[in-house]
Amino acid sequence: MSRYATLLLLLKHMGYVNGRVQFQKLVFLLEKNYHINSGYDFIPFKFGPYCQTIQEDIQHLIDYGYVEHEEVEKPAGEFLHRYQITEYGEQYILENDFGEIYDQVIQDLCYDFKNYSTRQIVEYVYENYPEYTAHSEIKELYFQPKPKREEFTSADKLLDRKPIITPSFVKWLDEEIKTTTKELDVTEVPMEQQSDELYIDDLVIEMLDIAYEDIASKAQEISTKIMLEDYSESGAINNKMYYIFEILENLLSALQEKDLIGIYTEFANTKTNIQMLDELIALYRTSLKSDLVRLLFEFIEDVGFFLDSIDKIVTL
């Protein structure tokens, strides 16, 4: 597998890469996390693991016309290096068979880290591969060493020091409940009264949590695109989108607590704000790129499926 193929497949599946640091860290993680020999040797450098050959190969690909490079000005006046594969680069991949497995592994890497910001990727690398932070100039900003195990007090010692509830108290409480129940002649609650309680299986909650995380990833992707393109409408759309995200979090909490009033309140609140987001998209649609509009509508659709699922659960 050529080194050029690694870089081109990475760009193909990422869509684009923002910055040299992000490029370096993604190739590094391909080797370390996915055990792919990319042909690059990394050393601890001022921003963590670094390979000069990667920068040289990227420049060669730019010279060949396989990669497009542009400098994007950030709000602070700094410039961000953005890399994208060109149609010639994609044609090069099509004309050469690099192996389905290799392509799939790189696709998995991009899927796992596509929604990570550069800061998040650096933090991940620093936390999992601290040996490459030895010469880092930004170590204090990105690397938070985990406390040593001996700094924690074991649970056994805490319980020996101060028991929370003694076994004798639990036994006494159990006997008191039985005695009181017998004196009051309390029977089991009839079935028709039990049916009023909302029953939600733990597995259903876990599945909804997964769906919630997917929606969160989509929101992060959209937010990143909006900020990178520096849309003037970013404030209104981003604020509305994250407000919906917060409502969904409250909705999940209400489900876990089996709070019917809370469920119906947050359910209606979500639908109202989804409608408002839809109106914002319609208002600014002509100034937004088509791929961003598509992502926004996918976000709305995902939230709609999420609400439909909850509606069916509550109805059952």
| pLDDT higher than threshold 90 for residue 251 | no
Q: Within this chain, do residues 137 and 30 fall inside the same structural domain, yes or no? A: yes
Query: 113: domain range?
Result: 3-142
| Location of structure tokens 């599945």 | 207
How high is the mean pLDDT of the chain?
A: 77
Residue 162 confidence (pLDDT): 41
Q: Per-residue confidence at 311, pLDDT binned at 50, 70, 90?
A: confident
pLDDT bin (cut points 50, 70, 90) of residue 230 is low
Question: pLDDT, tens digit, for every residue of 168-219?
Answer: 544 555 666 666 666 666 554 443 444 445 556 566 677 777 778 888 888 8
Q: Are residues 92 and 213 both part of a single domain?
A: no
Average pLDDT rounded to a whole number, residues 269-296:
81
In a domain, residue 36? The reply is: yes
Asked if the model's pLDDT at residue 98 lies above 90, the reply is: no
Q: Quote the pTM value.
A: 0.47
pLDDT at 152: 47
Dihedral of the CA atoms 156, 161, 162, 165 (nearest 10)?
40
Q: What is the pLDDT of residues 238-250, one digit of tens each?
A: 778 878 888 888 8
**Structural domain contains residue 7:** yes
Domain with residue 278: its CATH number is 1.20.120
The span from the CA of 184 to the CA of 187, in Å, is 9
- State how many domains the chain has: 2
Residues 211 and 284 in one domain: yes
- Quick check: is 166 in a domain? no
Q: Using alpha carbons only, what angle is made at residue 107 by residues 104 and 108, rounded to the nearest 5 degrees?
A: 90
In a domain, 164, yes or no: no
- Tally Cβ neighbours within 10 Å of residue 296: 23
